[in-house]
Amino acid sequence: MTVMERLLLGATLVLGFAGAAGAETLTAGSVVLELPLGLQASSAYIPDDNVPTPERVALGRLLYFDQRLSGDGTISCATCHDPQHGFAEPRKTSTGIGGQVGGRNAPTVVNRLFSAEQFWDGRADDLEAQALGPLVNPIEMGMTSHAVVADVVRGIPGYAPLFEKAFGSMTVTIERIGHAIASYERTVWSGNSPYDRHQNGDVGAMSEAARRGLVLFGGKANCVTCHAGFNFTDESYHNLGVGMAATKPDLGRHDVTKADADQGAFKTPTLREIAHSGPYMHDGSLGTLMEVVELYDRGGEQNPWLSKEMRPLGLTAEERRDLVAFLEALSGEVSGTERPTAFPN
């Protein structure tokens, strides 16, 4: 077996879980994806022209982890979206090439299959478009242009046969690079958490504290208004007041829509793997889940654009701990975490 065949074989395995009872299967073109327990196939977003075949996923995984796609060869997507940190980063805000520090915290890449719009402000329409941004962002991967990225990949002969398998010809284009990376990302899932097993009828799957937290989450604490559904997001934008006191606040969604009401609004993130993906919020300003719960308990940070859903909750100390216990029960089985052991040359 060649290295490449082994890599492809590895990817085929990535596409499936052991098929727990109650888990859903998603069919896209000729590809069947076995989702972990708790994730809903009907909510998946896959563009017609980019079905995640095992070959595309395998290629995308290599590109995702390959540091040669950065200006100084030190940064890959996985640097900031690290499988060991819930596919996010353990830093307040991102550090790209040459140690340059950006202004936002890297969100998790898990369960992107279920979202069209990407980024904290939703400025990318899909994962395909999103993937091309960081490659040429001067303080992230710092390549001078998309043409240069394609040239670098073209200059590694071992990639050509993988493009042929994934796309039908050896031609390396920036669009194909984006499509392959997006395909891999669509197979990075988190499910089968204690919460999912609880929902599936396993009464002992969550601790008592987490069970009380679940009731608070959907009731007194009002979290479910925005963190709705199986992926814990309404895919919408809200102002919690985080960072609004800064001299020059990050206006978030407003940069995209220019609508006054969107000032300081950011996308509701998924809460899956949340115990592993801190620090929290678009600016990484909150270090622990307890600090997050305390922010909500005081009704967010006052500012003229604060969401109407934000109000003091009057939680007791035990209720705050229960909510944290519930959030910790959202860590489950994560797919796609394996770093490639070899890269094409």
Q: Identify which of residues 35 and 286 has a Cβ nearer to ligand HEC in the complex.
A: 286
Name the segment binding ligand HEC (CB under 6 A); options: 29-37, 44-52, 153-161, 215-223.
215-223
Interatomic CA distance for residues 45 and 97, integer angstroms: 32
User: Residue 45's CB: how many other CB atoms inside 10 A?
Assistant: 14
120 is an interface residue for ligand HEC by CB under 6 A: yes
Q: Which helix (H) or strand (E) holds 190?
A: strand 190-191
- The active-site residue, picked from 117, 128, 140, 273, is 140
DSSP structure string for 2-19: -HHHHHHHHHHHHT----
Backbone φ and ψ of 124, nearest 5°: -100, 135
Find the shortest distance in angstroms from Cβ 247 to ligand HEC: 17
Residue 77 contacts ligand HEC per CB under 6 A: yes
Q: Site for ligand HEC (CB under 6 A): which residue of 96, 332, 336, 344?
A: 96
**Alpha-carbon span 239 to 263, nearest angstrom:** 7
Residue 140 among the catalytic residues? yes
Q: Does residue 292 bind ligand HEC (CB under 6 A)?
A: yes
C-alpha separations of 162 from 2, 12, 295, 337 in Å: 12, 14, 48, 20
Residue 30 β-bridge partners: none
Could you say whether residue 75 binds ligand HEC (CB under 6 A)? yes
Q: C-beta of 302: minimal distance to ligand HEC in Å?
A: 14
What x/- string results for residues 299 through 338 when contact with ligand HEC is judged by CB under 6 A? --------x-xx------------x---x-----------
How would you class 276 by CB atoms within 10 Å of its CB: exposed for 0-12, middle for 13-18, buried for 19 or more? buried
Spatial separation of the C-alpha atoms in residues 344 and 329, rounded to whole Å = 38
- Which residues in this chain contact ligand HEC in the complex, by CB under 6 A? 64, 75, 77, 79-81, 94, 96, 102, 104, 106-107, 109, 112, 118-121, 127, 130-131, 134-135, 140-141, 181, 185, 221-223, 225-227, 238, 240, 242, 266, 268-269, 271, 274, 277, 280-282, 289, 292-293, 296, 307, 309-310, 323, 327
Indicate which residues carry an active-site annotation: 140
